[in-house]
Structure 1
Amino acid sequence: MAHPKLQLAAALVGSGLAGVLVALQSRINGGLSQEMGNGFLAAAISFGGGLVVICLALALSRRGRAGLRRMRDEVAAGRLPRWALFGGAGGAFLVLSQGLIAPVTGVALFTVGIVAGQVSGGLVMDRLGLGPGGRILATPTRLIGAALAIVAVVVTVVGSFDPGLVLLVLVPVAVGVGVSAQSMVNGLVRSAAQSAMTATFMNFVVGTVLLLAAATVSVIVGGWPTQWPSEFWLYCGGFIGVIFIAVAAILVRRAGVLLLSMSNVAGQLVAAIAFEVGFPLADGLTPALVAGTAVALIAVITAALPSKPLGQG
């Protein structure tokens, strides 16, 4: 068996690569929303596509189907709380905000907001012991990292000189907390079902139902889109989400909610900057975005540094 530190390092690297996928998903879903002119419908298409993928995978996986039975039995026995089945709400709000907010703020600023929410949410959830790894006490480096993540958002927004972005960026901050909660409850479901595929499936069922309801109301009020993008890659956001959610469910027990979020957002930040340079959704890179992203990356690195929990000698 690999050394625990090597296992942790591998988990953090894997989560960082998954973070790159989150930034890619933000770019894809934001582009789909721009092309269609309807962020609600774009989000439903993205999540619905992911549900199709995971249903096909589940049909071919005996372990995944067995996981559904174990999950049902654990819920019936009271060992898995019913609220743990609704982690897909966090993913649904992420995808929806990617379509509605990211095209206005750009991928980089959107990602910095997600970072602040994930870091803060992960710190609290680890402290309360809500994740599958149990209670993880705060350390000075984790607290400093969380504070720096908030500073990163302030630097980015203040540097933009756009008062409207102050309120807009609060949305991805709140969504980032939801993403941390999603990773936490997915880890619980994965442990109970002994299958990451089962946890991923539950995510996409819940998220698709929520987004289809929102998209239906949107179409009734605003009408059906007059144009549909022809680029195939704009419809691949759901497939990317399947990979991200499955990886997070597998790794959260090893890394904890906070460190998983930290390594994940490091990948998001690097990829977000690359997308703003090559394929911007809004105004591309600005000095404030570069500064805020740099502070957020420092926050991630700081929180990952080893340190003794507070209150211990």
Structure 2
Amino acid sequence: MSHAPRLPAVVGLPLAVVAGVAIPLQGRINGALGQRLDDGLAAALVSFGTGLVLMIAISLLLPRGRAGLRELVPAVRERRFPRIYLAAGTIGALFVFSQSLTIGLLGVALFTVAAVMGQTISGLAVDRSGIGPGGKRAITPMRIIGVVLTVASVAWAVSPRLEGTGTTAALILPLLLPVAAGILMSFQQAMNGTTAVHYGTPITATLMNFISGSALLLAAWLLKAAVAGFGEPLPGEWWYYLRGPMGCVFIGISALLVRTLGVLLTGLGMIAGQLLGSLALDLLFPTPGTVVVFATIAGPVLTLGAIMLTTLPWKRRSLLFHG
């Protein structure tokens, strides 16, 4: 069996942060495309579709991509991993669904806090269970502190935008959807990391993500179009189509990193990058209503501190849960 490369943590963690920086830009592009098409689901399908076309080209043109394709059928036939892992891309599609259904009510800030809460908590559980390719990772006090501090940091960073989102009682049910989406994201990272090891490259794992995600979004869009009709025609500006290629990079890096860093630390690094990217967009390309205050700047810094705490060693006798 061929193995995907393993990056040292000193390289992997900064790479996770850099990958996370692109997430807000992806969201900005997808939101603009959704407004242009007057159809958020169509925008998501366009993003997945462009990513799929790019991944098909990469898989056919690059030697490692072709090698991964040759390993695809044997890996599935020999059950080197559960076949449900082939559908990991549908989790990304479901995340898009949750955005389109709840952001109008919750707002981006509250959606982000809820999703991060789900992702960090499930990251602990996924690492503990050993689902990912990095094996089991114990739940230590430092990792718990890092998770709590990360959620608090994200909440603090987006707090200036939390006003006017509605009463707590009215938001309880809508909040469950981004929390669930965040929980599933950790499982998606573990699945992608595992399949990348058995394919010998994250290229094939990324390709399969876009195949399954695009299939689900296409089915949903066709159903919606049959009921409500088609939206606006596709725009001609090239930058509307960047989110798909950016998603290819994001998924590929995530699949590569979870083997070295584990699911939790990979997720935390990308969350820190997401906050830094949001801050950069707010400073350089602000949108109407953008607020940059002390919390907006301090939140990402505190998140980086939480990541450093999570990486600190803990004596074996002090572990809360050790597998």
State the TM-score, normalizing by the size of structure 1: 0.86
Distance 1:151 1:253, change over 3 A: same
Matched, 1:196 2:196: no
Query: Secondary structure at 1:113's aligned position in 2?
Result: helix
Alignment-mate amino acid for residue 58 of structure 1: S
Q: How many Å apart are 1:219 and its aligned residue? A: 1.6
Partner of 1:3: none
Alignment-mate amino acid for residue 220 of structure 1: A
Q: How many Å apart are 1:280 and its aligned residue? A: 5.2
Determine which of 268, 272, 291 is the counterpart of 2:278: 272
Distance 1:305 1:107, change over 3 A: farther
Matched, 1:162 2:156: no
Query: Secondary structure at 1:163's aligned position in 2?
Result: coil
Distance 1:104 1:17, change over 3 A: farther
Alignment-mate amino acid for residue 163 of structure 2: S
CA distance in structure 2 between the aligned counterparts of 1:281 and 1:176, rounded to whole angstroms: 26
Alignment of 1:158-307 (within 5 A): 159-163=162-166, 166-167=171-172, 168-226=174-232, 228-279=234-285, 283-285=289-291, 290=296, 293=299, 298-307=305-314
CA distance in structure 2 between the aligned counterparts of 1:210 and 1:79, rounded to whole angstroms: 25
Contact 1:107/1:281, CA 8 A, preserved across alignment: no
Q: How many Å apart are 1:122 and its aligned residue? A: 1.0
How many residues are treated as equivalent by the alignment? 309
Cα deviation digits, residues 3-22 of structure 1 (max 9, x gap): xxx91010001111110122
Matched, 1:86 2:92: no
Contact 1:15/1:260, CA 8 A, preserved across alignment: yes
Q: How many Å apart are 1:245 and its aligned residue? A: 0.6
Where does structure 1 differ by over 6 angstroms across 4 or more consecutive aligned residues?
Answer: 286-289
Query: Secondary structure at 1:285's aligned position in 2?
Result: coil
Distance 1:282 1:98, change over 3 A: farther
Contact 1:190/1:198, CA 8 A, preserved across alignment: yes
Q: How many Å apart are 1:97 and its aligned residue? A: 4.3
Distance 1:100 1:34, change over 3 A: farther
Contact 1:39/1:99, CA 8 A, preserved across alignment: yes
Contact 1:117/1:176, CA 8 A, preserved across alignment: yes
Alignment-mate amino acid for residue 114 of structure 1: A
Distance 1:55 1:17, change over 3 A: same
CA distance in structure 2 between the aligned counterparts of 1:245 and 1:251, rounded to whole angstroms: 10
Deviates more, 1:217-226 or 1:165-174: 165-174
Contact 2:146/2:307, CA 8 A, preserved across alignment: yes
State the TM-score, normalizing by the size of structure 2: 0.83
Partner of 1:120: 121
Contact 1:43/1:99, CA 8 A, preserved across alignment: no
Distance 1:229 1:105, change over 3 A: farther
Structure 1: gaps of 5 or more residues: 1-5
Structure 2: gaps of 5 or more residues: 1-6
Deviates more, 1:71-80 or 1:224-233: 224-233
Matched, 1:43 2:49: no
CA distance in structure 2 between the aligned counterparts of 1:281 and 1:169, rounded to whole angstroms: 25
Distance 1:300 1:107, change over 3 A: farther
Distance 1:125 1:58, change over 3 A: same
Alignment-mate amino acid for residue 305 of structure 1: L
CA distance in structure 2 between the aligned counterparts of 1:159 and 1:33, rounded to whole angstroms: 23
Query: Secondary structure at 1:160's aligned position in 2?
Result: coil
Distance 1:301 1:280, change over 3 A: farther
CA distance in structure 2 between the aligned counterparts of 1:61 and 1:216, rounded to whole angstroms: 33
Distance 1:244 1:37, change over 3 A: same
Deviates more, 1:73-82 or 1:192-201: 73-82
Contact 2:52/2:214, CA 8 A, preserved across alignment: yes
Distance 1:235 1:249, change over 3 A: same
Alignment-mate amino acid for residue 61 of structure 2: L
Q: How many Å apart are 1:199 and its aligned residue? A: 0.4
Distance 1:153 1:259, change over 3 A: closer
Distance 1:89 1:21, change over 3 A: same
